[in-house]
């Protein structure tokens, strides 16, 4: 019996030491630093087209503005927001009143400055991917100036627009 007690006295501390050794090994670890990189592709948008642009109403000097229906087409793969439409002063490229945004004007007597386009967009319009949206808030007006505007009578104007 005495030998068993003595063995227990030796065995218990041995088990405790062994348990602490395993516990210490279980919480030991290495630390290190590292770096890395990855790649991602960002999509692009496709150019929007603005067609057709239709004006309803007849323009007179100082008269009521003609209202518009403007279809914005998005052939791209992602939605695009359009916050404004303005005259595209890159057109007409040649001819009378070139680079005014309004085509079909005579050489004199009816300047592009007599006409004003306003998109009247209170908030941006979202044009979904592969879809179109129609803006009906735009107006085209003709100013009543202090000079004779007879050269404008009967004209068919081409209004060039772009998104802004």
Q: What angle do CA 22, 25, 26 make, to 5 degrees?
A: 85
Average per-residue pLDDT for the chain: 85
Locate the domains of the chain by residue range: 49-163
CA distance 163 to 146: 32
The pLDDT of residue 155 is 93
The pLDDT of residue 19 is 59
Q: Which residues, at least 6 apart from 143, have a Cβ–Cβ distance to it below 8 Å?
A: 61, 62, 113, 114, 115, 116
Q: What angle do CA 16, 18, 23 make, to 5 degrees?
A: 95
CA distance 110 to 42: 47
% of the chain residues with pLDDT over 90: 62
Q: pLDDT by residue (tens digit) across 114-144?
A: 999 999 999 999 999 999 999 999 999 999 9
pLDDT band at 34 (very low <50, low <70, confident <90, very high): confident
Q: Which residues, at least 6 apart from 140, have a Cβ–Cβ distance to it below 8 Å?
A: 55, 59, 65, 66, 68, 115, 116, 117, 157, 159
Question: What's the N-to-C CA distance of the chain in angstroms?
Answer: 99
Nearest by Cα to 120 from 142, 102, 136: 136
pLDDT band at 42 (very low <50, low <70, confident <90, very high): confident
pLDDT band at 27 (very low <50, low <70, confident <90, very high): low
Q: Which residue has the higher pLDDT, 40 or 160?
A: 160
The pLDDT of residue 58 is 96
Q: What's the average model confidence in pLDDT over 47-55?
A: 92
% of the chain residues with pLDDT over 70: 82
Q: What's the average model confidence in pLDDT over 75-87?
A: 94
27 alpha-carbon distance from chain centroid: 53
Q: Which residue has the higher pLDDT, 21 or 159?
A: 159
Q: Say what the pTM is.
A: 0.73
- Please state whether beta strands 158-159 and 115-118 pair in parallel, antiparallel, or not at all (unpaired): unpaired
């Amino acid at each position: 019996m005495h030998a068993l007690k003595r063995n227990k006295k030796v065995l218990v501390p041995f088990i405790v030491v062994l348990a602490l050794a395993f516990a210490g090994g279980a919480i030991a670890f290495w630390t290190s630093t590292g770096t890395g990189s990855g790649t991602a592709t960002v999509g692009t948008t496709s150019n929007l087209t603005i067609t057709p642009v239709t004006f309803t109403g007849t323009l007179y000097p100082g008269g009521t503005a003609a209202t518009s229906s403007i279809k914005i087409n998005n052939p791209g793969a992602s939605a695009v927001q359009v916050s404004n439409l303005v005259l595209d002063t890159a057109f007409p490229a040649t001819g009378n009143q070139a680079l005014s945004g309004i085509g079909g004007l005579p050489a004199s007597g009816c300047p592009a400055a007599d006409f004003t386009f306003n998109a009247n967009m209170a908030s941006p319009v979202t044009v979904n991917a592969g879809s179109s949206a129609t803006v009906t808030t735009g107006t085209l007006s003709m100013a009543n100036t202090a000079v004779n505007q007879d050269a404008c009578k009967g004209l068919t104007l081409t209004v060039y627009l772009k998104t802004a």
